[in-house]
Structure 1
């Protein structure tokens, strides 16, 4: 699958999530993205190393590693 441009990822995420916020983690390196899924009405939060990584994870476009 071809990777989307960052601008396109942001647009897709804004359409799918209400109150979407993407920002650098104030407690350290990395990024945080969170928003309310418009279909499921649930809050989703994702952390990652890059802005692209958190948007892709939020949209389910990547394999997300869950720390044990």
Structure 2
């Protein structure tokens, strides 16, 4: 029989926390923002080729121009 490393009370608390976070649109949007930021950094640091990095540089410059207007 395998035993859980996390107590039932902690699992219940985690479920309740996730439920509250998912109901709050601001927190959900921030969580999605952080997730995307993490994914972008991971891609750049681990998988991106030179061509990918050049494309990203172009996209970043376009985004900077759009934000400054």
* Both proteins in one fold, TM over 0.5: no
Query: Which of the two has greater helix per residue?
Result: 2
Query: Which of the two has greater strand per residue?
Result: 1
Per the normalisation by structure 2, the TM-score is: 0.30
Per the normalisation by structure 1, the TM-score is: 0.30
Look at both structures and tell me which one has the larger radius of gyration over its CA atoms.
2
